[in-house]
Structure 1
């Protein structure tokens, strides 16, 4: 089983009876649970970033639809849809958008707990990835604009003299900037720096970087 002491299951369902029953079931499996009656209350009050979590989500909600809420959070945590009004086109849309599963009501307890377990394994990986990107972003923020330019060129394989020529500076100056980049990015080698850039999804072509 996933680490129940750190994993969290969010429940968003406007039916009080269903919401309470789901919460009891999930707690019985050892997980922490936070339940909400609407998408709005969930988005306003839920802490989505402090630990691994998945979302057990009703398709039909009083404020916005489950599909709309999925679009808001799908990059942050796995979504498991539950519904008494699902159809094939809707389920296909949800799954294409990255839903972990799409379960019709009434839900088999065993199946639901298995899906939650699988989703929390995925949630742990997503959580680690976010933490890693946050760490890398912190290192990038320490670079000066010129050091960013040097790094963007270095990770594409350019030599110091080529970088100097492109930036209109001297090779000696590039060496100084490059050393500072390695230190600030906590990279032990060029290969290490390239791996960091690749892991962060840094697009170096125009030196406008996006982490994802």
Structure 2
């Protein structure tokens, strides 16, 4: 049974599910070279992915949205049923807020973009494993959209797209230090402990719609 934690010498076991063979091979190699995540199995179909997850009981499942026409919510539910302790991270080309909210509300630990740089994406996957499930990470009930400044909302939106502080600074025309200050402020308001946690809490509070 997975523990959702890895020691300094033990990489995170993962199953990679994606029907794009090029991505499977390239990203699988990238993960192996990084060393923090060990891809114990990969699959190009929903049924094959669920079977691999059931067999290996990985700490992490990396799941694409578009897989052989099977609704991703269905695949997610099956994964949760056969390996409830596995953290599921959605990695996709889609940037669709309603879909992201649905999947994170259903228990996905992260919703990440394939367009993100490899290093940032791997960091986000490792962070997703360490983040508590969504049911334990609800945003403050009193939090309103107006609680965040316009700039904080802009930073939050870009964080939700898995952009690094450097990328956010470049897009908004501000310094990385300023990005960090805005991020710290919005983390305080959200009661978040990490970028992934902030996105989840903001999503639960309806701040990313």
TM-score between the two structures when normalised by the length of structure 1: 0.51
CA deviation vs aligned residue, 1:21-53 (integer Å, no higher than 9, x gap)? 110111112132021111111222344565x51
Determine whether 1:117 maps to 2:126: yes
Which residue of 99, 103, 115 maps to 1:94? 103
- Equivalenced residues, count: 123
* Partner-residue secondary structure (3-state), 1:41: helix
Unpaired segments of 5 or more residues in structure 1? 126-212
1:13–1:61 CA contact under 8 A, matched in 2: yes
Q: Distance in 2 between matches of 1:35 and 1:12?
A: 6
Larger radius of gyration: 1
Q: Which runs of 4+ in 1 moved over 4 A?
A: 47-50
Could you report, residue by residue, the CA deviation over 1:114-157 in whole angstroms, capped at 9, with x for unpaired residues? 1221233359x9xxxxxxxxxxxxxxxxxxxxxxxxxxxxxxxx
Shift of 1:86: 3.7
Output the TM-score relative to the length of structure 2. 0.52
Mapping 1:63-212, distance limit 5 Å: 63-74=69-80, 75-121=84-130
**d(CA) in 1 for partners of 2:68 and 2:31?**
23
Q: How far apart, CA to CA, are the structure 2 residues paired with 1:122 and 1:49?
A: 21
Answering whether residue 65 of structure 2 is matched by residue 56 of structure 1, we say no
Contact conserved, 1:2 with 1:121, CA < 8 A, in 2?
no
Distance 1:122 1:47, change over 3 A: farther
Q: Identify which of structures 1 and 2 has the higher relative contact order when contacts are C-alpha pairs closer than 8 Å and 6+ apart.
A: 2
* Distance in 1, Cα, partners of 2:121 & 2:55: 21
Post-superposition offset of 1:90 = 0.3
Q: Any gaps of 5 or more consecutive residues in structure 2? A: 134-209
